[in-house]
Amino acid sequence: MNVSFWRDRNVFVTGGTGMLGSWIVSKLVASDANVVCLVRDQVPHSPILRVDYYKQHVSIVAGQVQDYEMMLRVMNEYEIDTVIHLAAQAIVPIANRSPLSTFDTNIRGTWTMLEAARNSPMVNRVVIASSDKAYGTQPILPYTEDTALVGKYPYDVSKSCADLIGLGYGHAFHMNIGVTRCGNFYGGGDLNWNRLVPGTLRSIYNGEQPIIRSDGTLKRDYVYVEDIAEAYITLAENVHRDDVRGSAFNFGINRPLSVLELVQLMLKATNSKLEPIILAEEMMNLEIREQSLDSSRARTLLGWTPKYSVEEGLQKSAEWYFTFLENRYRNGKHTIV
């Protein structure tokens, strides 16, 4: 991360109150950027909303990413230079239960943001969050950026569409746009307890058997959130370059682990003797069975490499969640990212 690059730069982060958004915003604020966050719903435990330091350094705009007039107003009135677009319905089981709201936020929200950015004369760079899910199920792994986008299930389809729309705007209108396709990121600050890492660590803290909703064999590329935050910021710094503009980049560690293997690593990291309960829910069949990413383009063109192994990332995550839960349950206080 080039700290001097961000000093006094106006940055608009959609989805800035989420787990990844909180890490990105904290790094930008520490670099003296002028950060504006779009907030749809109040998130009580987001540090961007509850910590006085961020309240003093981050401008909060209430609204929805699908509101074109509001998005254009924010970009113009705050003289935005850089847009980091994270706003999305990002939970796969919710997408399966509620596909319409997922499509509305993830697809319409992306083209609305892009059209506002296209019509705002001061926007110079845009980074869009896609996902490894955009590739869908493929016969050859790991995915490279040239792998076709063939999402099949609701969340995956929403990401395939948003990804293509983002690249389409970049090529058609010569905009400095970059797309991230990240593996499953995890770390402190994710309070969606139905997700694997926070849910498992909370169960371990409470002395309860962790619940695995699938059959435990789904394989994913797991990346620690601080590495992913650095990836977004590094891409934003370089998206104006001819060899980067209008491109997508994979960010992963190319070490696919099954759900059961990841849970076992969390049990090991916390010295827990608990045994997981495997539910093998039928709904979990609406997910890609195995994924992994080739991140050599990001290493070659952006100089990005993950700093944390899965074991190191899970150890840091366990420390964060155990501290958070200790304060929450006993003192009524909360830690920050």
3-state secondary structure 130-177: CCHHHHCCCCCCCECCCCCCCCCCHHHHHHHHHHHHHHHHHHHHCCCE
For residue 209, what is the DSSP state? P
> Model pTM?
0.93
Buried b (16+ CB within 10 A) or exposed e, 50-67: ebeebeebbeebeebbbb
* pLDDT range class, residue 335, cuts 50, 70, 90: very low
> Which pair of structure tokens corresponds to residue 204?
């371990």
Ranges 10-19, 285-294, 325-334, most confident: 10-19
Q: Which fold has domain 7-188+222-254+292-308?
A: Rossmann fold (3.40.50)
In 31-77, where does DSSP find H-type helix?
47-50, 52-57, 68-77
User: From CA 135, how far away is CA 252, in angstroms rounded?
Assistant: 14
211 touches 201 (CB < 8 A) = no
Mean pLDDT for the stretch of residues 264-276 = 97
Identify the residue whose tokens are 């697809």.
Answer: 107
Q: What is the pLDDT of residues 307-319, one digit of tens each?
A: 999 999 999 999 9
Q: What is the pLDDT of residues 160-210, one digit of tens each?
A: 999 999 999 999 999 999 999 999 999 999 988 989 999 999 999 999 999
Q: Is 155 a catalytic residue?
A: yes
Q: What is the pLDDT of residues 68-117, one digit of tens each?
A: 999 999 999 999 999 999 999 988 889 999 999 999 999 999 999 999 99
Given 54, 143, 155, 186, the catalytic residue: 155
